[in-house]
Amino acid sequence: MSESGDNSGEVTLLLRDWQSGDRGAESKLFELLLPDLHRIAAAHFRRERQAHTLQPTALVNEAFLRLASAKNIDCRNRGHFLAIAARVMRRYLIDHARERPDAEIVPMAGFPERALHGRSQFEWAIAIDLLLDEMGRAFPQQRTVVELKFYLGFTDSEAAETLNLSLRSLRREWFLARRWLFERLSGEKCKPADSAANS
């Protein structure tokens, strides 16, 4: 998902105005980002079971309402805002799935099956959500990297630009975030791999 070269600056300005309490900027912002929000919702539904009782448009609307009513959201640019929107959608889907005994959520790509450690896919999704909260408190930048790379499908270059990091630093953060999650999900300790992290 690449940033549109003709509106990224406008989005940054609108974010600044919105966070200052400008309701007009809020309407323009969501109108401008609506296609991106629909793409994020569609990506979430590709990881959900078939015949879901929700629809992507309903998920976008719910994300809009939750973001509009939230306080003290710190969004630096378009990519950062979309990462937060993806987080809001993910949590809403998990809350919705908690009410259904047949809920299924496809696990995060890139983790071996043993990381499930006897959990159902739904339990695994909840565990990931809780771990991302923990990661956000200790390593907020790494959580944002996970959200940009996994939930939004950003390339390394796109994620690095969004976070104002060098490509090397972004890849190190992505490596460390995946290792941190794997260790806590599997109960295994990975061997130090500084050479891989720094490559």
- What is the Cα–Cα distance from 127 to 182, expressed in whole angstroms? 11
Q: 140: domain range?
A: 110-199
Q: Is the dihedral of CA 68, 75, 97, 139 positive or negative?
A: negative
| Residues 90 and 140 grouped into a single domain | no
Residue 72 neighbours by CB distance under 10 Å: 5
Q: Is the pTM of this model over 0.85?
A: no
| Residues 26 and 90 grouped into a single domain | yes
Q: Which of 63, 78, 106 is the last residue of a domain?
A: 106
Type of residue at 5 = G
- What is the Cα–Cα distance from 11 to 181, expressed in whole angstroms? 32
Q: Is the dihedral of CA 114, 120, 121, 123 positive or negative?
A: negative
Residues of the chain predicted below pLDDT 50: 2-5, 106-107, 109-110, 112, 190-199
Residue 155 neighbours by CB distance under 10 Å: 14
- What is the Cα–Cα distance from 101 to 103, expressed in whole angstroms? 6
The tens digit of pLDDT for each residue in 40-78 reads 888 777 665 555 567 788 889 888 888 888 766 778 788
| Residues 70 and 161 grouped into a single domain | no
Provide the Cα torsion 94, 132, 43, 74; round to 10°.
110
User: Domain with 91 in it: what CATH number?
Assistant: 1.10.1740.10
Say how many domains are in the chain.
Answer: 2
